[in-house]
Chain A
């Protein structure tokens, strides 16, 4: 394939050469490395720019309209009504029904995000420390712990729906063995969110283990030996010497896990067979899709999406900025 930029450069260059008989400003711009590399980075960048950043921008504008999914959105009267509804609830001008605020689903989102990430990190760290003890079959253990992560949310939801089943689920069989239950875990409003969180921990704690294991392997053996010479007990050694050195691993695992929890929509959708997980397990991700795709409140869905996006940005932007400052980007 001919490189269109190089053709253009040659054409421009020869014209200028004829006109002025020397190297020109245009010529030197086209010789820059950024321009010579442009055929490689520019098309993917435009693609990402259009589909991701263009779409985010469009979504922000849509959230200011009253769009109900019929015809073309009306961009002439933009206002913040959807955000007022999102924060305070009420009856919007585009509907005759009362629309509840998002606080309930926002709270569930935060509870899910924090409990899921923290338990995953602790479990992952403990597993990583154990796997790091010169054990046999290390690869087998690692492979099994990470296995659930290769599955789709839809598949894990099916497995856990079965595990939690009142009559035949293994969880209830185990509860029955210790004299509890049977409990309708999936339907019980008090247990729903915990059940979802537990299944997600099953799926993603192996990821935290892999990240921590890489972190542990990067610590020089001399640090372990020095602590042992000092006579520190194993627990003290890990607590005072090793775990403080795993900060980078913790931060990067934490960022990825929180983002996973924001994406838990697929899991809830297949667990509850549709858009209705019920108020006690409703998170912003499900609420947004339900408003837009089930209730036809497209503009309101867009507004919830903007709020979700800002939450993700608040976590990710400082992370990317720190990476940039450290020169790790």
Chain B
């Protein structure tokens, strides 16, 4: 339900009221504010670095036609792909299982804490909710200690590395996956619980009267009704985990297991100065998966963040 003007508007210009013109003017101005950093990045990312002058970063490269705009080239994107390929692969290895498992476990937790109602569940649930707001700094040192000095994950992967496709450095990605599942669980549980609270009790009660077990209720009734929420949760978690830097920095630290955000930090800077076309192409390449998800499923993303 929108709340538009009801009163008759008198002043007008070419048939449009001045008020409407002002509203659209501000909205379009804000659109430019939000888009210009991205637009500038896109334009710069397709300039040949040798012809880059930086005079008109927001214009497309039209060199022979418009002087100072630089020549068109896909070389920065090629450079970005070369520089980020290992990080992109690692990020995919990380984000797929971490997203799926945090979503599944979150749905199970929300079911056990909502659909099956029992005394004291709100207390348990409050601990989940508080987990959403923890600044990760409060757990970094223990996490590093845990993965590097307590869990012998590295030794396991040293013996597993004889298998095809398994490398020793994958142990860091597994550690990162498990960490992201644990820290994603609170928000996943919250999103699913909000959904399950809205479901009607009738079906669950009828199934309970029929003597259905708790796990049957989950698999036959709740899981099929959760599909739209799974979309929201998966999109949210995918974006969060893909975009994270802090956990990767402290768990992966450096080496072959570095994820795309880690590789992006240092790219495009060298002794001879900053290569802005390469840097913009790299930033856009690293952002591309989440941008595509956002463009195609923006409403689901909005639903996830506003819950």
Q: Is B113 an interface residue (CB 8 A)?
A: yes
Say whether A152 contacts B140, CB under 8 Å: no
Can you list, as one digit per residue, whether each of A153-194 has a CB less than 8 Å from chain B (1) or not (0)? Answer: 111101111110101111001000000000000000000000
Closest Cβ of chain B: how far from A244's Cβ, in Å?
15
The stretch among A12-20, A56-64, A96-104, A114-122 that forms the contact with chain B is: A56-64
Contact indicator B109/A305 (Cβ below 8 Å):
no
Q: Which A residues, 102 to 158, have Cβ-Cβ distances below 8 Å to chain B?
A: 127, 130-135, 138, 141-156, 158
In the assembled complex, which residues on chain A have CB atoms less than 8 Å from the CB atom of B134? 52, 56, 309, 312
* Interface assignment of B203: CB less than 8 Å from any CB of chain A: no
- Chain A residues closer than 8 Å to B142, beta-carbon distance: 54-56, 58-59, 62
Tell me the complex Cα distance, A234–B142, Å: 54
Q: How far is the CA of A43 from the CA of B108 in the complex (A)?
A: 9
Whether the pair A259, B181 counts as a contact (CB closer than 8 A) is no
> Complex: how many Å from CA A153 to CA B283?
11
* Stretch with Cβ within 8 A of A (4 or more), from B71-79, B92-100, B121-129, B162-170: B121-129
Residues of B contacting A50 with CB < 8 Å? 182
| Chain B residues closer than 8 Å to A132, beta-carbon distance | 2-3
In the complex, whether B15 has a CB less than 8 A from a CB of chain A is: no
With both beta carbons as reference points, the residue of chain B lying nearest to A215 in the complex is identified as: B306
CB < 8 Å neighbour of B245 from A269, A305, A312, A329: A269
Contact B286 A288 (CB under 8 A): no
CB of A32 within 8 A of chain B? yes
**Which of A33, A59, A150, A151 has the most C-beta atoms of chain B within 10 angstroms of its own C-beta?**
A150
- Which residue of B has the minimal Cβ distance to A154? B261
Q: Is the CB of A151 within 8 A of B291?
A: yes
Nearest A-chain residue to B31, judged by Cβ: A144
B126 touches A48 (CB 8 A): no
A56–B35 CA distance with the chains assembled, in angstroms = 39
Tell me, yes or no, whether A74 is within 8 Å of chain B by CB. Answer: no
Interchain CB contact under 8 A, B141 and A292: yes
What count of chain A residues pass the 8 Å CB interface test? Answer: 111
B44 touches A162 (CB 8 A): yes
B213/A269 in contact, CB under 8 A: no
Is A6 on the interface with B (CB-CB < 8 A)?
yes
Given A52-B131, A170-B40, A262-B135, does the pair A127, B112 have CB atoms closer than 8 Å? Answer: no
Q: Which residues of A contact B112 (CB under 8 A)?
A: 37-42
Distance in angstroms between the alpha carbons of A210 and B304 in the assembled complex: 11
Q: Which single member of A54, A170, A266, A316 contacts B36 (CB below 8 Å)?
A: A170
Q: Report if B155 contacts A (CB, 8 A).
A: no
Check if A308 is an interface residue, CB within 8 A of chain B: yes
Q: Name A48's contact: one of B31, B131, B136 (CB within 8 Å).
A: B131
Q: Write the B10-33 contact mask toward A (1 if CB under 8 angstroms, else 0).
A: 000000000000011011001101
**A130 pairs with B23, CB closer than 8 A:** yes
Instruction: Tell me which of A6, A269, A312, A329 contacts B129 (CB under 8 A).
Output: A329
Find residues 237-282 in chain B having any chain A CB closer than 8 Å to their own CB. 239, 242-246, 249-250, 261, 264-266, 269, 274, 276, 279-280, 282
Contact B34 A202 (CB under 8 A): yes
Expressed in whole angstroms, the minimum distance between the Cβ of A46 and any Cβ of chain B is: 10
Contacts of B274 in A (CB 8 A): 165
A248 interface residue (CB < 8 Å to B): no
Minimum CB distance partner of A162 in chain B? B276
Q: Are A293 and B250 also in contact (CB < 8 A) when A36-B214, A147-B34, A155-B286 are?
A: yes
**B276 in contact with A168 (CB, 8 Å):** yes
Q: Is B139 an interface residue (CB 8 A)?
A: yes
A-B contact count (CB 8 A): 315
Cβ of B302 within 8 Å of any chain A Cβ, yes or no, is yes
Within 8 A of A (CB), among B102-119: 105-106, 108-109, 111-113, 116-119
CB distance from A276 to the nearest CB of B (A): 13
Q: What residues on A are CB-neighbors of B287 within 8 Å?
A: 151-152, 155
Bound complex: CA A3 to CA B139 (Å): 33
| A214 CB contacts on chain B under 8 angstroms | 306
> Quick check: A228 and B306 within 8 Å, CB to CB?
no
Contacts of A43 in B (CB 8 A): 105, 108
Check B186 for interface membership: any CB of A closer than 8 A. Answer: yes
Closest residue of chain A to B104 (Cβ to Cβ) is: A44
Are B185 and A47 in contact (CB-based, < 8 A)? yes
Distance in angstroms between the alpha carbons of A24 and B112 in the assembled complex: 25
B283 / chain A contacts, CB cutoff of 8 Å: 154-155, 158-159
A270–B213 touching, CB < 8 Å: no
Q: Are B302 and A210 in contact (CB under 8 A)?
A: yes
Interface presence of A8 (CB below 8 A): no
Q: Which residue of A lies closest to B119 (CB)?
A: A34
Question: A34-B120, A51-B182, A292-B141 are known contacts; what are 4 more A-B pairs with Cβ within 8 Å?
Answer: A162-B41, A162-B44, A168-B55, A289-B249
Residue positions of A touching B, CB distance < 8 A: 3, 6, 32-34, 36-45, 47-56, 58-59, 62, 72-73, 127, 130-135, 138, 141-156, 158-163, 165, 167-170, 173, 202, 206-207, 210-211, 214, 216-217, 219, 221, 224-225, 228, 234, 255, 259, 262-263, 265-266, 269-270, 273, 284-285, 288-289, 292-293, 298, 301-302, 304-306, 308-309, 312, 315-317, 320, 323-324, 329
> Could you write out 29 A-B pairs with CB less than 8 Å apart?
A3-B213, A32-B118, A33-B117, A36-B214, A37-B111, A38-B112, A42-B112, A44-B109, A44-B185, A52-B182, A52-B186, A55-B142, A58-B145, A127-B27, A130-B26, A145-B31, A147-B34, A152-B261, A153-B245, A154-B283, A155-B243, A159-B40, A211-B306, A217-B1, A266-B261, A269-B249, A288-B137, A289-B246, A312-B138
